[in-house]
Chain A
Amino acid sequence: MSTRTKIAALAMAGAVSLAFSLPALAEGNLAIYAWADSISPEMVAKFEKETGIKVTVDAFSSNEDLLTKLQAGSSGYDIVTPSQHFVKIMIDSGLLEDFGASSMAAYSQVLPDWQKPWWDPTGNHSVPLAFGNAGYTVNRDLYKGPVDSWKTYFEPPAELHGKIASLAQPDEVIPAAENYLGIKYCSEDPQEMKRVLDLLLAQKPFVAAYSSDNIENRIGSGEVAAHFWWDGNTMRLRRNDKANVEYAMPKEGLVGWLDSYVVPKGAANIENAKKFIDFMAQIDNATAQYNYYGHSSPVKIDESKALYNKENAPELFPTVPVKMGQACSPAAQELVTKVWTQLLQ
């Protein structure tokens, strides 16, 4: 063989072995795909030590990213953590394993409010991980005015012009706008959605950025004075970084969410996934996870060791109505997309 053919043969062998080695995953592994910074690294380390299972954790920053990855097939993950409406979409699309969640030890730890909810009526596809709400937060060094209404955010006063940041996902922002306008979620009425678009278009000149990454720096450093955000994240920024931020309690209502552990269809390590979910629901571990993540816990925790309460973490105990986000019909989703595309076109 000439050198050239040898190289050719080697390259081909390399390409072929690469193509066939990708799906093979070793035993004793667990691949988790979760919201950025949502799973306590300490608990992951403890789990690895107790079980000898090697855990990898990747992060996403939107439900849409996660859904797209699962729809594209063979994501390679054993546990993912979508929000309630995406759990419903994923179950309806046949993207999740029925891993008998409701008969697991973890499920007996789930608070009654969150057992067998509308998005998983059999309770077999998901185990709740954390819940909270979406609203907006303000930097109190830059903005001193009232935050008791969505009006401050959507129709900002002059001092907030150019100092507001939104998220990059329609799914998060539009329900909030619907709360403000008194329109029900997932409306299929074009005229109602046109009102949502008009509201967002009027707000756009005052918006500095539509971005879901790097939020804590943007609001913490004062790059912007108001940011669409989540309750627990605001609380963590306020407590850990001593940032002068305040989470708004808009009287029109916050948008509720609940993230769950689910197992994608065809996951390679389902047993390890179940072990991890049971482990995280044990009362001590759930408490440590709660103290790390800073969002409300849908499973029982040890109140005596919990770091956050009504006094030091008012963000987690909303005083206004919280309306859970829904899974929209394709027709309603079409309108949501239309609003968002015309907003950013």
Chain B
Amino acid sequence: MKPSSKNPNWNILGLLPAHLIMLLTLIIPIGIIIVVSFSTRGPYGGFEYAFTTAPYKQLLFNDGWTGELEFNPQYLIVVARTLLLSAVTTSICLLLSFPVAYFIALQRPAIKVLLIYLVTLPFWVSMIVRVYSWIIILGKDGVIEKTLRGLGLVDQMDSLLFGNTAMLLGLVYSYIPLMILPIFASIEKLDPALIEASHDLYGNRFTTLRRVILPLTRPGMIAGAILVFVPSLGAVLEPTLLGGGKTMMMGNLIQLQFGGARNWPLGAAIAIVLMAAVMVFLIFQGLRSMRSEGLERAA
């Protein structure tokens, strides 16, 4: 890195708004949440500034129905389910996005712009509206049921709403554009000469895909996976509206602690654990991609 300006003071000043916004909207709120997570719960919600680690203990241990403190994995189950569903969501998005992104990258420039525009189009509409519309599509007398009945394929069908399938569908639908865009960007950067070279060296289509295209587009896939996985961890809308609120994810668990359960410190503690998990995941990913880049450079 070389100094980019004659007067470095201006650089610091120029970045000040960014630091200020970071401080006001990110660092201070997170600090408040950390403080709350180590506070004592108020009798009817709220909290008092009296240091305790009880909320974190409560994540693992709870008074059993007999009144004895026992190991209770109820919150860990929610955490595990959240991680699993987010991973499944990410995998489905990855599988679906790759062909779509590849197809878009093959088009003429004008069509390409149009297709990319169409991929980003849903972001112009509020997330709540988009998730709600799935209720209309999947629900009783919804588009799917009416079509199937119109075609005479079914007479009476069970509701497609309310369950893990509907929830996964909602999650994939919500976040798939975040996967398509980075993969598209990395496919765009792919040098066609390398694919030709692979064919020249008697690589068949599958070998070319496996040994040339996939490794070279991996940065895009990793970026997409992070962009999908992280917001899936905190999803609240999809489990509530499409999943029927029957299986809790971490977002709903946090919501319950701040609302119905009136246990803010526990809610804050769960939020901190969620955030820490995301950070560990990101650092791990960062280290891995740095190491693989290093290996490539050394090779």
Contacts and interface: CB of A to CB of B under 8 A. Distances in A.
Interface of A: 2, 4-5, 8, 11-12, 15, 19, 62, 64-65, 67-68, 71, 89, 92-93, 162, 165, 168-171, 190-191, 193-194, 204, 207-211, 213-214, 221-223, 330, 333, 337-338, 340-342, 344-345
A65 B259 contact: yes
Nearest to B158: A162
Contact of B20 (A15, A168, A191): A15
A210 B246 contact: yes
B44 A92 contact: yes
Given A68-B45, A210-B244, A221 B20 contact: no
Contacts of A191: 65
A87 to B, nearest CB: 12
A85 to B, nearest CB: 10
Given A191-B65, A344-B248, A222 B14 contact: no
B21 A93 contact: no
Interface stretch (B99-107, B134-142, B215-223, B272-280): B134-142
Interface stretch (B109-117, B199-207, B260-268, B285-293): B260-268
Given A15-B20, A223-B159, A340-B256, 17 more contacts: A64-B262, A93-B43, A93-B46, A168-B245, A193-B65, A208-B161, A208-B244, A221-B140, A223-B139, A333-B262, A337-B263, A338-B62, A344-B246, A344-B247, A344-B248, A345-B75, A345-B248
B246 A4 contact: no
B44 A342 contact: no
Interface residues on B, range: 35 or more
Nearest to B21: A15
Interface of B: 10, 13-14, 16-17, 20-21, 24, 42-46, 62-63, 65-67, 74-75, 77-78, 135, 139-141, 158-159, 161-162, 240-241, 244-248, 252-253, 256, 258-263
Contact of B44 (A12, A89, A190, A340): A89
Given A68-B258, A223-B159, A338-B62, A204 B246 contact: yes
Contacts of B42: 71, 93
Contacts of A170: 260
Contact of B245 (A68, A190, A209, A221): A209
Contacts, number: 119
Given A8-B14, A221-B140, A340-B261, A194 B65 contact: yes
B12 to A, nearest CB: 10
12 contacts: A4-B10, A5-B10, A62-B260, A64-B260, A68-B45, A71-B42, A208-B162, A333-B262, A338-B62, A338-B63, A341-B74, A345-B77
Contacts of B263: 337
A89 to B, nearest CB: 5
Contacts of A190: 63, 65-67
Contacts of B262: 64, 67, 333, 337
Contacts of B246: 204, 207, 209-210, 344
A71 B46 contact: yes
B84 to A, nearest CB: 14
Contacts of B158: 162
B162 A209 contact: yes
B244 A15 contact: no
A71 B264 CA distance: 10
A170 B43 CA distance: 17
A210 B245 contact: yes
A181 B70 CA distance: 27
B22 to A, nearest CB: 11
Nearest to A212: B245
B44 A67 contact: yes
A328 to B, nearest CB: 9
The 3 closest A-B pairs by CB, nearest first: A209-B244, A210-B245, A337-B261
Contacts of A341: 74, 253, 256, 261
A8 to B, nearest CB: 5
B48 to A, nearest CB: 12
A223 B260 contact: no
Contacts of A209: 161-162, 244-246
Given A67-B44, A221-B139, A344-B247, A211 B261 contact: no
Contact of A2 (B10, B65, B78, B240): B10
A213 B262 CA distance: 20
A223 B46 CA distance: 37
A273 B245 CA distance: 36
A208 B14 contact: no
A335 to B, nearest CB: 9
B25 to A, nearest CB: 9
Contact of B45 (A71, A165, A338): A71
Contacts of A4: 10, 14
Contact of B140 (A2, A222, A337): A222
Nearest to B247: A344
A109 to B, nearest CB: 30
